[in-house]
Every structure is written in structure tokens, then in C-alpha cells.
């Protein structure tokens, strides 16, 4: 039985502005994970990262900051920094498949070097001031890597281990390796959570039937594509057309304020949101193409208005959310 629903961190989308507006209109997640910050050797935090972490920018939600690093001193410092902002858990990103990230041995790049992963956890876990959770993939190049990786994770007391059941090269497409998740449920010494391609209440229900021992899932892209998904999972209503219109208008206004009145920047952020949200509508080909190509905020508003005026609204998101 699924007892906990976490909102996964999507870098560039589920940041403070989005989280505040989404929480006001929909909510329903037990926890929201803050897209990662990357500690430097100088132990500096950027202005942008501080905005994400400040408690006053994160009201009305239980939040867990995520860190991207491959060195124990930076992980220890990140935990101290998170604690200073009032957080009670830190999450290590060992799953981001971006080439620029993995080339530095971070994110899913950690999985390419199990010895580095082990050294990181060994050097930090006894010195952390906060519980540490990990979000990881099941391997870098091959699912056969997972047993060794799980053996490493089992050496350390983790608050939870969230698994995206693909390897790095698959990114967000290709087969989901449910056998690896089943293996983790059986062999992990730490609590295990599932992540990967959950978009609808039906898909979450089917997952729960397949894995009755699983009690936690993390959903990212599916919850941006359907902002009411967590609410629906708790028996609430689907998003209405008016609710979505008001939500996107409020989000655009919030981005405009955040960018000091620059509506062009706000429109660009909305383009990223609509990359997923468009999947909650039917007959999207023409307007989806227009949404990806607009140049001005005025054009954005016109396209969004046409979507709400003309396109059939689905009860669930559909299609490829890559």
C-alpha cells in the first residue's frame, strides 16, 4: 500500500516560484524535493541557491533539499547548510543523466565509479548532522550493475533510497527494470521508494498491485503534466479547465514578479511548464508546436488562451513526457 507520495525535483521547473503557486492551487504531496544545489570546494552558496532554500520562499510544504556532489567534505557542508535553513533531511542526487553532470562524476556519474560512491558515503555518513536519503538509478550502463550498487547503499544508514529503474544511458525512455526494484524491496536494508513513469492514478494503482510491499513513490514529470495528480491520488477532484487557466495565469504572474517585471523571461519559464502540461489536452499538435516556438510574452498569452478555449481537456495526462 502506498503511504507516501513525494514530488520529485525537476531542475528548471519545480523551483520556489512553481512550488508556491502549485501548492496554493493543488498540493497533495507529502514532501517536495528542491532541485539540487552544488557545493563548491570553497563552500559557497549562490544567490540563486539561497532563494531556493530560504524558508520564507517555501511555505506550506514539507521540503527536502537535494545536493549534487561526489566529495564527502562538500556533502558534510551541504548538510550543515541545509540544517541552518531548518531542514531535517538532505537528499543526494545519484541519478541525473545529463552529460555535463555525469562527465564530472556527479549525478548518475557516481554510479559509473562504485568506489567513488562508496568513498563518498563512507567519508560523510558518520559526520552528517542530518539524515541522508539518496535518489539513484539502477546503474550507469547496465542493469547488472545494480546488485553491487545496492550492496554499497546497504553499508550505510539511509533515510530512504529512491530508485529510478533505468540506467543513465536510457535517460527517461526505454524499458523500466521492475526486476531491479523487486530485488531492492527484498534486499535493501534501507527503506525503498519507486520513481519512473507514473502519470495517472491508474498507473499508480497498477504499480501498487504489482508491488504490494512498496509504501512510497516519487513522481515528477507526471505531476507537472497533471498538477492535480497528487490530489487525485488522495481521492480528490481532477483539475478543471478554469482551475488550470487560473493556475497558469498565477504562475506567469509569479514568474514575472520574480524576474523583476520581465514578461519575456516569465514566458520562457512557462514554455518549460507547458512542455509537460500540454499532455493534459487532446488534439495538441498545432498549438504544441506554436507553444514551443513563440517569441514574445504576448504570443505566449495568445497561445495559452487558445489552448484553454479550443482543446479538449483530458481527465489524465497521456503520451510521452520526455
User: The CATH number of the domain where 163 resides is what?
Assistant: 3.20.20.70
If asked whether residues 55 and 110 sit together in one domain, one would say yes
If asked whether residues 138 and 157 sit together in one domain, one would say yes
Which of 191, 213, 233 terminates a domain? The answer is: 233
If asked whether residues 151 and 276 sit together in one domain, one would say no
Domain containing 127 equals 4-233
Domains held by the chain: number: 2
If asked whether residues 159 and 27 sit together in one domain, one would say yes
- Cβ–Cβ < 8 Å for 120, 72: yes
If asked whether residues 100 and 140 sit together in one domain, one would say yes
- C-alpha cell read off for 104: 564530472
- Cβ–Cβ < 8 Å for 85, 54: yes
Whether residue 320 lies inside any domain: the answer is no
The per-residue b/e assignment along 16-27, b for 16 or more CB within 10 angstroms, e otherwise, is bbbbbbbbebbb
Report the alpha-carbon distance of residue 300 to residue 21 in Å, rounded. Answer: 19
If asked whether residues 214 and 258 sit together in one domain, one would say no
- pLDDT by 10s per residue, the chain, length 322: 899 999 999 988 999 999 999 999 999 999 999 998 898 888 888 888 999 999 888 878 899 999 999 999 999 999 999 999 999 999 999 999 999 999 999 999 999 999 999 999 999 999 999 999 999 999 999 999 999 999 999 999 999 999 999 999 999 988 899 999 999 999 999 999 999 999 999 999 999 999 999 999 999 999 999 999 999 999 999 999 999 999 999 999 999 999 999 999 999 999 999 999 999 999 999 999 999 999 999 999 999 999 999 999 999 998 777 6
Number of other residues whose CB lies within 10 A of the CB of residue 3: 9
If asked whether residues 171 and 289 sit together in one domain, one would say no
**Helix 178-187 to helix 146-153 angle, to the nearest 10 degrees?**
30
The per-residue b/e assignment along 233-267, b for 16 or more CB within 10 angstroms, e otherwise, is beeeebbeeeebbebbbebbebbbebbeeebeebb
| Interacting residues of 295 by C-beta distance below 8 A, sequence separation 6+ | none
Whether residue 322 lies inside any domain: the answer is no
| Interacting residues of 118 by C-beta distance below 8 A, sequence separation 6+ | 152, 155
**What's the pTM?**
0.96
Which of 187, 215, 233 terminates a domain? The answer is: 233
Whether residue 32 lies inside any domain: the answer is yes
If asked whether residues 80 and 211 sit together in one domain, one would say yes
Whether residue 254 lies inside any domain: the answer is yes
Whether residue 202 lies inside any domain: the answer is yes
If asked whether residues 42 and 166 sit together in one domain, one would say yes
Which of 198, 233, 268 terminates a domain? The answer is: 233
If asked whether residues 86 and 162 sit together in one domain, one would say yes
Residue with cell 505531476: 223
If asked whether residues 161 and 178 sit together in one domain, one would say yes
| Interacting residues of 152 by C-beta distance below 8 A, sequence separation 6+ | 114, 117, 118, 121
Whether residue 297 lies inside any domain: the answer is yes
Whether residue 315 lies inside any domain: the answer is no
Whether residue 14 lies inside any domain: the answer is yes
If asked whether residues 224 and 109 sit together in one domain, one would say yes
Amino acid at each position: 500500500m502506498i503511504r507516501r507520495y513525494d514530488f520529485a525535483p525537476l531542475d528548471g521547473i519545480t523551483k520556489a516560484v512553481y512550488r508556491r503557486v502549485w501548492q496554493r492551487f493543488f498540493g497533495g504531496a507529502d514532501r517536495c524535493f528542491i532541485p539540487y544545489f552544488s557545493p563548491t570546494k570553497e563552500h559557497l552558496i549562490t544567490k540563486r541557491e539561497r532563494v531556493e532554500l530560504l524558508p520564507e520562499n517555501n511555505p506550506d510544504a514539507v521540503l527536502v533539499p537535494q545536493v549534487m556532489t561526489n566529495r564527502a567534505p562538500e556533502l558534510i557542508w551541504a548538510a550543515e547548510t541545509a540544517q541552518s535553513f531548518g531542514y531535517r533531511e538532505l537528499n543526494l542526487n545519484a541519478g541525473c543523466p545529463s552529460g555535463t553532470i555525469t562527465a564530472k562524476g556527479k549525478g548518475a556519474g557516481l554510479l559509473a565509479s562504485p568506489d567513488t560512491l562508496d568513498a563518498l558515503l563512507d567519508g560523510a555518513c558518520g559526520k552528517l548532522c542530518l539524515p541522508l536519503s539518496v535518489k539513484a538509478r539502477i546503474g550507469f550502463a547496465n542493469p547488472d550493475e545494480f546488485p553491487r550498487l545496492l550492496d554499497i547503499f546497504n553499508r550505510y544508514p539511509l533515510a530512504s533510497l529512491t530508485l529510478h529503474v533505468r540506467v543513465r544511458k536510457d535517460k527517461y525512455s526505454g524499458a523500466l527494470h521492475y526486476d531491479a526494484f523487486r530485488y531492492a524491496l527484498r534486499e535493501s536494508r534501507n527503506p525503498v521508494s519507486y520513481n519512473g513513469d507514473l502519470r495517472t492514478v491508474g498507473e499508480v494503482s497498477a504499480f501498487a498491485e504489482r508491488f504490494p510491499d512498496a509504501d512510497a513513490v516519487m513522481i515528477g514529470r507526471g505531476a507537472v503534466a497533471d498538477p492535480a495528480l497528487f490530489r487525485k491520488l488522495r481521492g480528490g477532484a481532477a483539475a478543471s479547465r478554469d482551475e488550470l487557466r487560473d493556475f497558469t495565469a498565477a504562475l506567469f504572474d509569479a514568474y514575472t514578479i520574480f524576474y523583476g517585471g520581465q514578461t519575456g523571461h516569465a514566458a520562457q519559464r512557462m514554455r518549460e511548464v507547458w512542455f509537460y502540461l500540454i499532455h493534459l489536452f487532446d488534439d495538441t499538435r498545432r498549438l504544441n508546436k506554436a507553444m514551443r516556438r513563440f517569441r514574445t510574452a504576448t504570443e505566449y498569452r495568445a497561445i495559452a488562451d487558445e489552448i484553454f478555449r479550443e482543446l479538449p481537456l483530458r481527465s489524465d495526462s497521456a503520451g510521452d513526457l520526455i
